[in-house]
């Protein structure tokens, strides 16, 4: 008990008071002069022990303590509350806190064991790196730093917790990211104050330009190679502590249809698959609705042989095509949700039971026609090809809306839907930048600006040498 | 703040706006008025329109891209300026409404005669107002995508149309037509749309060559209209064409697809994009005028009011003959307005806008339309 800016405070007692009824805290004495406080599960205890022991190996207790304290970080502050607050915060973050000679010290001694780096279940790829982010921000940052070994990669730490610290880290590559984007992101982050631990996806919702829009405006990913690619494109990335989801913006509409694995394939296939994804996105939105519109109002569209088959399939069904489609779409959603929540082995069984047994039974019971099963199954299958889960969920909602409009208004409803859908897409901004840009389409298709064919360059090379001069 | 409009966006927007819905009736109208091989007059109409547009753009340049509402308010006493603005606003709204009505009438004709116009119109009016309320920049971006979605239809007529006969075209020009000024004027209305530049000018990028961009739209439309008239005159006899109101739909009916049976109504709905964009642009222009008239600027309230009035009018039991008459007179007033506005822009000297800081601060606190912010920056 000595001075701290002239204050006479029993720090040990104060710290004890702060951690009263925190039975997971460990309090140990080093000699009689130093008391240390730490949470064993927040740090590497073995490392800590060997670290402390090393100071006492060739010295007596007092000398060892003196040497030890020299490498600790003293806590400074302008009043008692401030000093104690800092000390408690650091101990809660996994550092070891010590009270020695009336002063407070802390030292970081490694992290507690966290989940090991594993492949992402959400974004699996066949070729390419398989490592994915974990809940530990330090691991996540190291995964990014390993890919971008440059001092231009800047990291800004920000505490957005209003009651207790919640750290987020904003990353960008200096001179690659537009300063306007960086400033805008910082401005938005500074506005956020939360009092609960949050995931990257939740943070993205708080940073959205259009919070009421169904479309995601920040690209959430668990893959470090995707993040590295986004950073190289001049985007801003946010790593949230305790979340494996890292978010990037400005996210363009086409980014949600890109998979990092595409870059590792032969370009022919990559180009094909990316165009297919866009086509399939449209198909998934439209197929069920078209079925409803055609069977309700525009059956003249269907060639006669197919019409006969459809009539035979539908004559037992007592519901209108719209109700029929909504029912089966609902069943598909139930199966999908059940599959997502259950353990993987049971989920497979549910998929088989749902797909075969319920599908077959529902047709035999005369509740829906088998042609609709084909349409909805194709539509559901198409939606799985969209790589981004958030975008896929948005699409699922729109499918229901489109079916209802098609059921009431036929083609007219579908085309109204298309117009409003496109208008909405064109209106959204992401970090005050355009969400959909047609100029991004070649970059999306050909994976980079360099790889896209340049007609002008081609023609230039074909020109006779005279005209070149 | 939204960026200013660029060339390609302007081209696609104007293409959709000018195409509107009148081109469904254009082949019948042209054949009835001018007779055989009257398709040759379409380029002439386009040239006249381009001449008008060139003068308009000259006038706009003279006034440093001020909108017609600004020019009128700067040069005339408030009472006259407001009266003239009201006339423009009413005309723009009337054009927007007649486009909606025309499309719904065709919808009834194409799909199902039991369709209740007033009920379907509500959906279309809501869609148009939603699009218009998103502002000019979003409309332009949307038009690019809608243009790409719907442009391929022209190739259906080229590739899958088999019932064309050269003998029906005849070697004679302008035989069998019943010329009248009313009909000739009605054809002129099909080429209107460029007058929207008077309102859009502050939102067009200074680097954008507006004349060139809109000329591309007109050239595409020239090809489009000419092709449809040639195909119509080669499909149906000269005596029958005037009796068929929506001859373009008949053309689609005559196109044979290898896998699907009857695509007329499917293709017809692709033109809803033109109807919506066209109507939305006129309503947006009317709203811009309304914002100039009032001190407190509530863009959304204006759109809600416009929607309510439109729905009430559509619910009234108005015969299609009356609507046709209304359409004609609305077109006539529009043509007159175009001529007057071009003259005003050419005759009136340039006057710089006096900025009222108090006005601007009031605007920023009440208005949520991003285009307004953009307009404030324009000299």
- Report if residue B145 sits inside a domain: yes
B2 assigned to some structural domain: no
SS3 A322: helix
Is residue B53 assigned to a domain?
yes
3-state secondary structure of A29: strand
Count of structural domains, chain B: 1
Place of tokens 């040497």: A67
pLDDT tens digits in sequence order for chain B, 379 residues long: 667 888 899 999 999 999 888 878 888 889 888 888 888 999 999 999 999 999 999 999 999 989 999 999 999 999 999 999 999 999 999 999 999 999 988 888 877 666 677 788 899 999 999 999 999 999 999 999 999 988 888 777 777 667 778 888 888 888 888 888 888 888 988 899 999 999 999 999 888 888 999 999 999 999 988 988 888 888 888 888 888 878 887 777 777 776 667 777 788 888 899 999 999 999 999 999 999 888 777 888 999 999 999 999 998 888 888 998 999 999 999 999 999 999 999 999 888 877 654 444 444 444 444 444 444 333 3
CB atoms within 10 A of CB B157: 19
- Note the ipTM here: 0.88
* Residues of chain B contacting A419 with CB distance shorter than 8 Å: 127, 131, 142, 146, 272-273, 276
Helix, coil or strand: residue A378: helix
| Measured distance CA(A319)–CA(A170) in Å, rounded | 53
Burial letters for A241-270: b for 16+ Cβ neighbours within 10 Å, e otherwise?
Answer: bebbbbbbbbbbbbbbbbbbbbbebeeeeb
pLDDT at A141 over 70: yes
Looking at the complex, report in whole angstroms how far the Cα of residue A166 sits from the nearest Cα belonging to chain B: 33
Q: Which of A295-309, A393-407, B268-282 has the lowest mean pLDDT?
A: A295-309
Residues B180 and B250 sit within 8 Å (Cβ to Cβ): no
Residue of A301, A410, A427 with shortest CB distance to B261: A301
Tokens 């030292």 identify what position?
A: A107
Residue B205, domain member (yes or no): yes
The span from the CA of A113 to the CA of A93, in Å, is 14
Contact B274, B21 (CB under 8 A): yes
| Within-domain flag for B254 | yes
Domain around B173:
7-374
Give the other-Cβ count within 10 Å of A353's Cβ.
Answer: 13
Q: Is residue B1 part of a domain?
A: no
Cβ-defined contact of B149 to A418 (cutoff 8 Å): yes
pLDDT at A63 over 90: no
Cβ–Cβ gap B127/A419 under 8 Å: yes
Residue B29: inside a domain:
yes
Residues of A in contact with B270 (CB under 8 A): 415
Residue of B nearest to A405 (CA): B123
Please report, in angstroms and rounded to a whole number, the separation of the first and last CA atoms in chain B. 16
**CATH number of domain containing B79:** 1.20.1740.10
Tell me the DSSP string of A397-466. HHHHHHHHHHHHHTHHHHHHHHHHHHHHHHH-EETTEES--GGGHHHHHHSSTTTS--HHHHHHHHS-HH
Does residue B379 form part of some domain?
no
Hunting for tokens 């006034």 — which residue is that? B63
Scan for tokens 């959909």, then name that residue. A436
Instruction: Name the pairing type of β-strands A73-74 and A103-108.
Output: antiparallel
A304 has a chain B CB within 8 A of its CB: yes
């Amino acid at each position: 008990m000595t001075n701290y800016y002239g204050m006479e405070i029993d720090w040990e007692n104060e710290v004890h008071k702060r951690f009263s009824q925190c039975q997971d805290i460990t309090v140990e004495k080093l000699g009689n002069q130093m008391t240390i406080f730490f949470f064993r599960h927040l740090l590497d205890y073995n490392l800590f022990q060997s670290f402390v022991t090393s100071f006492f190996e060739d010295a007596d207790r007092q000398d060892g303590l003196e040497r030890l304290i020299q490498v600790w970080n003293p806590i400074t502050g302008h009043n008692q509350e401030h000093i104690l607050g800092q000390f408690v915060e650091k101990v809660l973050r996994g550092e070891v806190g010590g009270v020695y000679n009336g002063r407070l010290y802390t030292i970081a001694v490694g992290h507690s064991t966290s989940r090991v780096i594993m492949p992402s279940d959400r974004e699996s790829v066949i070729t390419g790196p398989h490592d994915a982010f974990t809940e530990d921000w330090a691991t996540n940052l190291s995964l990014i730093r390993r890919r971008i070994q440059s001092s231009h990669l800047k990291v800004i730490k920000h505490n957005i917790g209003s009651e207790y610290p919640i750290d987020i880290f904003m990353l960008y590559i200096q001179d690659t990211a537009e300063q306007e984007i960086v400033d805008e992101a910082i401005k938005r982050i500074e506005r956020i104050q939360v009092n609960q631990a949050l995931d990257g996806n939740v943070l993205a919702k708080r940073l959205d330009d259009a919070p009421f829009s169904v479309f995601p405006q920040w690209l959430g990913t668990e893959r470090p190679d995707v993040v590295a690619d986004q950073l190289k494109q001049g985007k801003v990335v946010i790593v949230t502590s305790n979340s494996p989801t890292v978010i990037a913006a400005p996210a363009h509409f086409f980014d949600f249809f890109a998979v990092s694995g595409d870059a590792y394939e032969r370009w022919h296939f990559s180009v094909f698959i990316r165009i297919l994804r866009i086509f399939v996105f449209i198909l998934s939105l439209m197929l069920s609705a078209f079925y409803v519109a055609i069977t309700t109002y525009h059956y003249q569209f269907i060639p006669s042989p197919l019409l006969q088959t459809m009539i035979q399939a539908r004559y037992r069904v007592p519901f209108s095509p719209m109700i029929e489609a909504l029912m089966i779409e609902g069943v598909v959603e139930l199966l999908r949700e059940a599959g997502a929540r259950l353990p993987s082995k049971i989920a497979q069984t549910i998929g088989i039971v749902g797909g075969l047994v319920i599908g077959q039974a529902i047709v035999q019971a005369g509740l829906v026609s088998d042609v609709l099963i084909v349409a909805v199954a194709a539509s559901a299958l198409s939606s799985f090809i969209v790589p981004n889960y958030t975008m896929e969920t948005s699409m699922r909602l729109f499918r229901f809306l489109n079916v209802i409009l098609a059921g009431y208004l036929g083609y007219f409803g579908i085309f109204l839907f298309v117009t409003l859908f496109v208008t909405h897409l064109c209106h959204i901004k992401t970090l005050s930048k355009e969400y959909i840009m047609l100029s991004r389409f070649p970059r999306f298709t050909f994976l980079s600006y360099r790889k896209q064919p340049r007609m002008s360059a081609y023609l230039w090379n074909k020109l006779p040498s005279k005209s070149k001069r | 703040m939204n960026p200013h409009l660029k060339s390609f966006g302007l081209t696609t927007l104007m293409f959709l706006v000018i195409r509107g819905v009148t081109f469904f009736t254009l082949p019948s109208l042209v054949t009835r008025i001018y007779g055989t091989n009257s398709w040759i007059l379409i380029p002439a109409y386009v040239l006249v329109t381009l001449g008008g547009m060139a003068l308009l753009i000259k006038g706009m340049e003279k006034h440093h891209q001020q909108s017609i509402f600004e020019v009128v308010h700067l040069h005339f006493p408030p009472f006259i300026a407001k009266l003239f603005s009201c006339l423009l606003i009413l005309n723009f709204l009337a054009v927007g409404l007649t486009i909606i009505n025309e499309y719904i009438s065709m919808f009834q004709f194409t799909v199902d005669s039991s369709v209740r116009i007033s009920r379907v119109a509500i959906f279309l009016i809501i869609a148009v107002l939603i699009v218009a309320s998103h502002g000019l920049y979003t409309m332009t971006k949307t038009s690019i995508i809608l243009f790409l979605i719907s442009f391929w239809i022209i190739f259906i007529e080229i590739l899958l149309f088999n019932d064309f006969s050269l003998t029906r075209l005849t070697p004679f020009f302008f035989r069998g037509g019943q010329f009248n000024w009313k009909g000739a004027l009605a054809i002129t209305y099909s080429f209107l749309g460029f007058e929207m530049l008077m309102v859009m000018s502050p939102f067009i990028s200074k680097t954008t060559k507006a004349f060139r961009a809109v000329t591309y739209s007109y050239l595409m439309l020239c090809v489009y209209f000419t092709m449809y008239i040639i195909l119509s005159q080669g499909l149906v006899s000269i005596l029958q064409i005037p009796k068929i109101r929506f001859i373009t739909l008949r053309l689609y009916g005559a196109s044979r697809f290898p896998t699907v049976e009857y695509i007329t109504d499917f293709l017809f709905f692709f033109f809803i994009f033109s109807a919506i964009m066209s109507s939305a642009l006129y309503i947006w222009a009317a709203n811009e005028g309304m914002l100039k008239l009032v001190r407190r600027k509530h863009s959304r309230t204006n759109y809600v009011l416009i929607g309510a009035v439109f729905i009430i009018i559509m619910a009234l039991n108005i015969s299609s003959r009356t609507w046709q008459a209304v359409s004609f007179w609305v077109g006539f007033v529009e043509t007159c307005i175009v001529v007057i506005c071009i003259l005003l822009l050419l005759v009136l000297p340039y006057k710089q806008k006096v900025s009222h800081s108090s006005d601007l601060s009031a605007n920023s606190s009440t208005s949520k339309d991003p285009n307004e912010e953009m307009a404030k920056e324009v000299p």
